[in-house]
Each structure stands twice: as structure tokens, then as C-alpha cells.
């Protein structure tokens, strides 16, 4: 078992990165890997118990290159995904509020020294306009994103932005869950963030490889590897128990990154009794003014990307996996089945990019692979027999962190998720969908109902009736 924790190191009462990351253990695991078919198959059999995998198992799967074994890995990932998530797929959109940044991440268009970027921080009125646009499309979940340089009011700006998002109505809908992806905070600030009613606090380590991290983050607060890798500890100390972590794939060897990411998760589980709620798997995309982004040092092929998703699905079966519109529609279609549980749709990556076609500044953070509207994405996924879900019930009912895992592990969460997915999809189809998407969506709901447990189906039918009568925000 390679997740033996180096004893937590405390310096001035702050946990340090070397209590989280054990590079020697990763190197040992990767050295031992050999792609032996018997070993691979034994890990695949174990994966079907839905108990997750340890580092040695993960290293065995990472080494698979033989096409037949790879297919078996994908098949097992499909099985696990189906058993835990069924056909549900949660949808959201990013909301960029500011592209001002004092950091110098060499892969990002928002980096401080990029003079080609016109800077913009949305006013609260502009934020409300963006939210109005997104809610009129049918979105119920957003992810607030910002660079690390706030206007004179500092972190208060983020809190005001959050309040504005929740207070904005657009058409028949409103945002019901706002996740945030902003730079690391101190514990007191995290407490304020928690109080503001956010869903998940998301932060990507970008790379867990300290040397690479230093190279690609030459200046600014973000240059401090330790401050970043310990951010989730501070968030959890502040009472935020839904956290989302991730790696920016393309900066360093993805094999190392997966094992390091797992160490981060085990550290959180060990310290706080619950790991992360979601894992994001962004791949480096071309960004204006960033040579590195156009020529990644460790490019990840489409096949390896699928392998990453499949291995993570088996390693942490109950943890959500998020895929963004960085990826093309074709790859997104393939990867859904392998383990992705949340996708963004209809996204723009510049502040003001929704209500003002090209964004206030005309520049996004990076280029997108999927430019389809929310309606087109929903039409596509229902035809693929997935059920797009706008459900926000767990967070609003307090089923978060450990409480969520206690329901998820024995498979009980499905009895909530399926009816909630059905009622939120029905709301979407009634209020926002094009006629073609509506037709395809109604057929998908019928299919889902016929495959549900009797009690869940009965509950779903009652909820559907309420939605058809005009009631909104019906959830269990
Ligand atoms: N500024 C904060 C930070 O860096 O943590 C939060 C938001 S940042 C705008 C969101 C994420 O965008 C980063 O964590 C990084 O992984 C991702 N990103 C930056 N440049 C990218 C690129 N060229 N391609 C894909 N993702 C990128
Ligand atoms: Fe700033 Fe985040 Fe972009 Fe880095 S990734 S330059 S911190 S916005």
C-alpha cells in the first residue's frame, strides 16, 4: 500500500506540501509498472467492487498500452460509471468575472505580462447581465472564475459577485448552485466564502511536480507551490466540505500527476474524513500570448485522455469527474461513457462573453473545442441516451461532504438523483428547449423512468406531474 502518509508536517500550524506529496512513492510505483495482462485483469476485477483502488493498482492500469487490454479497461470504466451514475450527466457553465491577474502562469492568456490581453473586471451590474443571459438559456449551476487580482474592494468583490449571482432572476429561472474557481484563500476568507452559500470550491494544482510548477509559475503569489497544495486543507478547516481538485494536463507526465492527485485525495480523506467532491481534467489548450500553451511539454493524446478518465473512474468511483468545453464534441461523446459525470456547455471564457458576443475584451482565457449552445449539447446527450441533470438538491438539502459519501457508497443516492434529474430536465424541456430537443428529451425521460427502481420511479412521476402543472424547483 503506497499511500502510507508521511507524517503531517506542521510549520507555524500550517500544513506543508510534503505532508501531502510523496514523490519517492510515486517513482517506485511507476518503476514497478509493467503492463502484465494478468495483473491488469486482476485490478479490473477488483474495480468492479466499487471500492476504489490504491496506488499500486492505479500504476498497473496506467501502464496499459495493449489495445485489447485498453478496451477491457474502458469496458470496466463504463460498467462502474453506469452502476454509480446511471445515465445522468450534470450540466453547468463557467462565469468569468475578471481577467485581471497578478500571476505569470506561462500557459494562461490572463497572465500579468500578456499585454495583448485587454483587462476587464465586471461590475455587479454586468455580472447580473451575464447571469440573466445564462439563466435564460436554462442554466441552474454556474462556476464563477476569476484571475488573482481583485479590484480595490479586494476579496469583498468576490463575495458581492456571489450575492449578485444568487439574487439575479432571468426568465423563469434562477441560479441554484454557484461553484467557484478562484485563487487560494486564508482560513478566515474561506469561512466567508462558505457563508456566502457557494457549492464547491474548486482549485487545480495545475501540476503536482514541484520543479515543473516552479518553471511554469515564475512570479506572483501562485509561484508558491506550498500555498497552493495546502489550499484545500484551509478550505476544509473553514468548513467547506465540497472541494474540487484537478490537474492541467500537458504540463508534466500525466502518469505522475494521477498518482500525485490520488495522494492529495488520500491526504484529505485521512485528515478530514472526506476526500474531494470532484476532479477536473482540463487539458492545456492554445491561449493567446502563451507559447507554452501552443506547444505543451507533455502533450496528452486523445487516447491517453480517455485512459486518464477511465483510471480515475475506477480509482475513486464516487467522486465526480468534470470535463469542460476545452474538448471537442466527438471526444466528449466518447469520454462520457468512461466516467465523466459533469460537463460544461455553451461556455465562454472571457468576462462579459455571454451578453456581449465576443466578451467585453474580445479575448478568452484559452480556445474552446466545443462551441455548441446548451440546447444543442442537451439535444446531443439525450440522443446518446444520457439524462442531462440540473439538480442542485444535495447541496441545498445539506447532503454534502461525508453525508453525501455515506449515501453514495451504498448506492442510496440514486434514489434521489434519478427523480431529481428527471424533474430538472422536464423543467428545462418545458421552459427553454427547442422543439427537437424537447421531443428527444421527453423520450429520454420515458426510457429513464422505465429503468428506475419502482419507488424512485413513483416519486419521479409525482415530481413530473408537479412540473407539468407549472411548479418549479421540484426536488427531493
Ligand atoms: N486564477 C485562478 C487560478 O489560477 O487558480 C482561478 C481560475 S483560472 C482562470 C482556471 C483554470 O484555468 C486554471 O486553474 C488552469 O488550470 C486553467 N487554464 C489556464 N490556462 C489554460 C489553458 N491554456 N488551457 C486550459 N486550461 C487553462
Ligand atoms: Fe491568473 Fe489563474 Fe491564469 Fe494563472 S491560471 S494567469 S492565476 S487566471
**Tens-place pLDDT, residues 83-95:** 888 888 999 999 9
Please give the number of the atom of ligand 2 that sits closest to the Cα of 206.
Answer: 5
Phi, psi torsion values for 144, nearest 5 degrees: -80, 130
Does 147 contact ligand 2 (Cβ within 6 A)?
A: yes
Pocket test for ligand 1, best of 96, 104, 108 (most atoms within 8 A of CB): 108
Please give the number of the atom of ligand 1 that sits closest to the Cα of 148.
Answer: 1
What residues pair up with 389 in beta bridges, in sequence order?
A: 90
Instruction: Report pLDDT for 16.
Output: 60
- What are the boundaries of each domain within the chain? 6-82, 85-372, 411-468
Does 205 contact ligand 1 (Cβ within 6 A)?
A: no
| Mean pLDDT across 232-250 | 97
Q: Residue 271 has which C-alpha cell?
A: 485528515
Res 15 pLDDT > 70:
no
CA distance 149 to 127: 17
pLDDT digits (tens, 9 = 90+) for 60-74: 999 999 999 999 999
Instruction: With CA atoms as reference, report the closest residue to 92 among 141, 138, 127, 136.
Output: 141
CA distance 173 to 332: 27
Distance 350 CA to ligand 2 centre (A): 13
Buried b (16+ CB within 10 A) or exposed e, 414-431: bbbbbbbbbbbbbbbbbe
**Residue holding cell 505569470?**
104
Please give the number of the atom of ligand 1 that sits closest to the Cα of 110.
Answer: 9
pLDDT digits (tens, 9 = 90+) for 140-178: 999 999 999 988 889 999 999 999 999 998 778 899 999
Does 284 contact ligand 1 (Cβ within 6 A)?
A: yes
Distance 347 CA to ligand 1 centre (A): 14
Distance 300 CA to ligand 1 centre (A): 17
DSSP annotation string for 38-106: HHHHHHHHHHTTSS---HHHHHHHHT--SHHHHHHHHHHHHHHHHHHHTTEEEEEEEEEEE---S---T
pLDDT digits (tens, 9 = 90+) for 386-445: 999 998 887 787 777 777 677 667 666 667 788 889 999 999 999 999 999 999 999 999
Does 222 contact ligand 2 (Cβ within 6 A)?
A: yes
Does 464 contact ligand 2 (Cβ within 6 A)?
A: no
Helix (H, G, I), strand (E, B) or coil at 465: helix
Distance 433 CA to ligand 1 centre (A): 31
CA distance 312 to 262: 9
Instruction: Report pLDDT for 11.
Output: 37
pLDDT digits (tens, 9 = 90+) for 78-124: 999 998 888 889 999 999 999 999 999 999 999 999 999 999 999 99
- Select the highest-mean-pLDDT range: 230-244, 282-296, 390-404, 448-462: 230-244
Handedness of CA 464, 465, 468, 469 (dihedral sign): negative
| Degrees to nearest 5, angle at CA 355 with 350 and 359 | 30
Q: 474 versus 9: which is more confidently predicted?
A: 474
CA distance 353 to 171: 19
Instruction: Report pLDDT for 7.
Output: 33
Q: Residue 133 has which C-alpha cell?
A: 443571459
| Mean pLDDT across 33-59 | 93
CA-closest residue to ligand 1 atom 6: 182
Which of 1.10.10.60, 3.90.550.10, 3.20.20.70, 3.30.420.40 is the CATH number of 85-372? 3.20.20.70
Does 467 contact ligand 1 (Cβ within 6 A)?
A: no
Does 206 contact ligand 2 (Cβ within 6 A)?
A: no
- What is the number of the ligand closest to the CA of 250? 1
Amino acid at each position: 500500500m503506497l499511500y502510507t502518509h508521511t507524517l503531517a508536517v506542521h510549520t507555524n500550524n500550517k500544513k506543508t506540501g510534503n505532508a501531502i506529496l510523496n514523490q519517492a512513492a510515486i517513482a517506485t510505483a511507476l518503476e514497478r509498472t509493467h503492463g502484465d495482462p494478468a495483473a491488469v485483469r486482476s485490478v479490473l476485477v477488483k474495480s468492479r467492487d466499487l471500492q476504489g483502488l490504491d496506488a499500486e493498482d492505479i500504476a498497473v492500469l496506467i501502464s496499459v498500452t495493449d489495445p485489447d487490454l485498453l478496451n477491457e479497461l474502458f469496458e470496466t470504466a463504463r460498467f462502474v460509471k453506469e452502476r454509480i451514475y446511471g445515465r445522468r450527466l450534470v450540466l453547468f457553465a463557467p462565469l468569468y468575472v475578471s481577467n485581471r491577474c497578478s500571476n505569470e502562469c506561462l500557459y494562461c492568456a490572463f497572465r500579468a505580462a500578456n499585454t495583448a490581453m485587454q483587462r476587464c473586471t465586471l461590475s455587479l451590474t454586468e455580472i447580473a447581465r451575464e447571469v440573466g443571459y445564462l439563466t435564460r438559456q436554462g442554466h441552474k449551476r454556474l462556476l464563477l472564475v476569476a484571475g488573482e487580482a481583485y479590484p480595490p474592494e479586494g476579496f469583498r468583490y468576490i463575495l458581492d459577485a456571489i450575492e449578485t449571482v444568487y439574487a439575479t432572476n432571468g426568465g423563469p429561472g434562477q441560479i441554484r448552485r454557484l461553484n467557484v474557481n478562484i485563487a487560494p484563500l486564508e482560513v478566515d476568507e474561506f469561512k466567508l466564502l462558505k457563508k456566502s452559500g457557494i457549492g464547491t470550491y474548486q482549485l487545480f494544482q495545475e501540476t503536482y511536480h514541484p520543479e515543473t510548477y516552479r518553471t511554469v509559475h515564475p512570479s506572483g503569489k501562485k509561484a508558491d507551490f506550498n500555498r497552493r497544495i495546502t489550499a484545500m486543507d484551509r478550505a476544509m478547516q473553514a468548513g467547506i466540505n465540497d472541494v474540487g481538485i484537478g490537474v492541467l494536463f500537458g504540463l508534466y507526465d500525466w502518469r505522475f500527476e494521477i498518482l500525485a492527485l490520488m495522494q492529495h485525495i488520500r491526504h484529505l480523506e485521512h485528515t478530514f474524513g472526506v476526500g474531494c467532491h470532484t476532479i477536473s481534467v482540463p487539458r492545456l489548450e492554445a491561449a493567446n500570448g502563451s507559447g507554452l500553451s501552443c506547444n505543451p511539454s507533455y502533450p496528452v493524446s486523445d487516447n491517453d485522455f480517455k485512459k486518464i478518465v477511465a483510471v480515475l473512474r475506477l480509482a475513486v468511483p464516487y467522486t465526480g469527474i468534470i470535463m469542460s468545453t476545452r474538448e471537442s464534441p466527438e471526444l466528449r461523446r466518447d469520454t462520457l461513457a468512461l466516467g465523466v459525470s459533469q460537463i460544461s456547455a455553451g461556455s465562454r471564457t472571457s468576462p462579459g462573453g455571454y451578453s456581449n458576443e465576443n466578451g467585453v475584451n474580445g479575448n478568452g482565457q484559452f480556445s474552446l473545442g466545443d462551441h455548441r449552445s446548451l440546447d444543442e449539447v442537451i439535444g446531443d446527450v439525450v440522443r446518446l441516451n444520457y439524462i442531462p441533470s440540473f439538480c442542485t438538491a444535495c447541496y441545498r438539502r445539506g447532503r454534502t461532504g461525508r453525508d453525501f459519501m455515506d449515501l453514495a457508497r451504498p448506492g442510496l443516492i440514486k434514489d434521489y438523483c434519478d427523480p431529481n434529474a428527471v424533474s430538472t430536465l422536464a423543467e428545462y424541456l418545458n421552459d427553454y428547449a427547442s422543439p427537437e430537443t424537447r421531443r428527444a428529451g421527453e423520450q429520454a425521460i420515458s426510457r429513464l423512468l422505465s429503468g428506475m427502481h419502482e419507488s424512485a420511479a413513483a416519486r419521479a412521476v409525482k415530481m413530473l406531474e408537479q412540473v407539468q402543472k407549472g411548479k418549479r424547483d421540484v426536488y427531493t
